[in-house]
Amino acid sequence: MLIIPQEGSKTFELKIPNVFVALAVLGAVLTVALLVVGGSSYIQARQLERSFTTSEREKALLITQVEVVRELAEDLSRLQKTNQQLHTILGESVGLDPVEVVARDSRSEGVYISYIDRLRWGRLKSLPTMWPVSGAVIRGFGELPGTVIDTPRGSLVRASGSGWVRQAHFDVHLGALISIDHGNGLVTDYGYNSHLLVVEGDHVEKGQTIALSGFSGNAPGPALYFAVRENGEFRDPLSYRLWM
């Protein structure tokens, strides 16, 4: 290698061994190779990061879908139990007359329609199949004309079926009492309440809050007295219950 300065200065000659040249070339090649490998690794890392993010999103979506499927399965199980109850009830109704004529009521449809036939004809709205409060039955039908349901004071008491409020007053034995006429001789009673939220003559829908449970009358404790009368006779409320 020659080094020639400007303006006629002395020329220098520099000799580089071939080994150094080869090492320099090898180093350049290795540097380029490392840059290529590093760039490829960086691109692969970014792709893996994007794939991981996508997988996490799909995992979260899958978990949500599993929860939805689980809830649907629980709903289906409840519906199957209700359907089984309906089949059991309707299976026992074979041979019953569909309509039995009795004395007319001012709020009824003119003829008495039994509980079984209401189920047959799909009249579930006025049928007291909804349990009025959440709680265990502490006194069943037979000990009393109705049932006593253990529930904390102040619990929401809901109408078991739609109908008209026939009574909303204080009874010596049943305390603050509500009676709902569901038409065609079907009446439900709700006693032991602390506060009544409806008055006589009101129309209530199935599931509507009508009172707050309490400890009035001869209640054994904070509870709700619930009774069903069909065509003047007391019936076991548990035989009507289809859902909470």
Q: Which of 120-124, 217-221, 228-232 has the lowest mean pLDDT?
A: 120-124
**Average pLDDT of the segment spanning 85-107:** 44
pTM: 0.53
Beta bridge partners of 150: 223
Q: Whole-angstrom Cα distance, residue 45 to residue 67?
A: 33
Please report which residue ranges of the chain form alpha helices under DSSP H.
Answer: 18-91, 115-120
**Average pLDDT of the segment spanning 101-111:** 40
pLDDT-derived band at 8 (thresholds 50, 70, 90) equals low
Check if the beta carbon of residue 242 is closer than 8 Å to that of residue 129: yes
- pLDDT for 102 beyond 70: no
- pLDDT for 148 beyond 70: yes
- pLDDT for 79 beyond 60: yes
54/133: higher pLDDT? 133
pLDDT at 27: 78
- pLDDT for 10 beyond 90: no
Nearest to 182, CA basis, from 235, 243, 244 = 235
Look over the chain and give the mean of its residue pLDDT values, rounded to a whole number.
Answer: 79
Place of tokens 């054994």: 220
Check if the beta carbon of residue 200 is closer than 8 Å to that of residue 220: no
pLDDT at 90: 52
- pLDDT for 9 beyond 70: no
Q: Whole-angstrom Cα distance, residue 209 to residue 196?
A: 10
pLDDT at 3: 56
pLDDT at 68: 78
- pLDDT for 94 beyond 50: no
String of DSSP letters for 126-173:
SS--B-SSSS-EEE-BTTBSSEEEE--TTPEEE-SS-EEEEEEEEETT
- pLDDT for 105 beyond 60: no
- pLDDT for 97 beyond 70: no
pLDDT at 133: 95
